Amino acid sequence: MSLPKIRKSNTAARKKARKEAQKEAQERLQKTTAAFLDHPTECCLCKASFVRNKKTVKTWHVVVNEDRVRLTCPECWGLIAKLVEKEE
């Protein structure tokens, strides 16, 4: 005598949905990574040049919104934070 199935029989549909979700997540990650690698070389506000080294990588801020990448120096980021704080 065989045991009855405990799970529902829609495993194929669940597997297909999981594969599609993974594919979408991978495509989104690839777009974001490509945008991040193609970042600007200067601050978006004060136009200070970005020289890649340990200090600048740790202190400068990068914001990725869909297809747009913004690079901001620590001084300008502080000004933005103050303005946002005032708004709230």
Q: pTM value?
A: 0.53
- CA 41/CA 6 separation, integer angstroms: 58
pLDDT in tens, 44-69: 888 888 888 888 888 888 887 777 78
Instruction: Say what the pLDDT of residue 25 is.
Output: 92
- CA 41/CA 13 separation, integer angstroms: 46
pLDDT in tens, 5-33: 666 667 778 888 999 999 999 998 888 77
Q: What are phi and psi of 47, to 5 degrees?
A: 65, 25
Which residues neighbour 76 within 8 Å (Cβ) at sequence distance 6 or greater? 43, 44, 45, 46, 48
